[in-house]
Structure 1
Amino acid sequence: MGVVRFGVSLPRDIAHQFDDAIKKEGYETRSKAIYDLIKKYITQSKWQHGEKIAGIISILYDHHEKDAVNTLLEIQHEYHDIIISSQHIHLDHDNCFEVIIVKGKSNEVEGLYRRLKTLKNIKDTSLTVADIS
């Protein structure tokens, strides 16, 4: 894997704002910050065009809501072909946290995520995706 160098021209105020922002994030170089931005852009593009991605769906819910628990399991079985793994965590007496690792076409992952996040009695959901190419 070689390295390609290229120049970027920005208005001075944008360059200063970028430097301030990446310094606050802890980046040591502009190159690493720009690399991360470009990777994020590529991943988003692949997401929008239905290409293969990997991701994590996290779900927070009340385990006393038995309908929610049963429905979560049913939906996961429907999407078994894109679910690699899941982990169930007991946060406290009332709250459970579930993490589902997925790999598949972005529209399939999005379909699973939409089904899960719209369930009744789900307190919170999030989806994080990564480019696997």
Structure 2
Amino acid sequence: GPTAEVADEPIAPQPTFINLLPWGKVDFTRGQFASMGECNTFVRALPNYSGYTTAERCQPIDDPVYCTGWQDDEGNHLDCFKGVGGCEVELKRHDLLAESGTRTIATRCETSALDKAWTRYQTADTSE
């Protein structure tokens, strides 16, 4: 049917982010890449790059992402993950840091569209 024909068309370059292993954290710090190729070129140029052991992986990331937001002395922060499992693992670390009084957790592994999360990250990151 017509759906099969659509699948055969070349896929348009989709915005790509680096995904950090092992928990699948979306690396917003490196920003958004226009395509997979551009992202891979960047990762291969990293000083610590070594094929399979490198934490950075370029992957198109599907919606939703799972985000934890928190505040500390430096302002608002947002961590987003490709899967809920990785987010929950990291949440334990956030909870420990919150108990030690350095941060307040605002959202816990909430689902978000990737583009919305990216916008939120940029807004949070630049606020003084």
TM-score (norm 2): 0.31
TM-score (norm 1): 0.30
Kindly name which structure, 1 or 2, has the bigger radius of gyration based on alpha carbons: 1
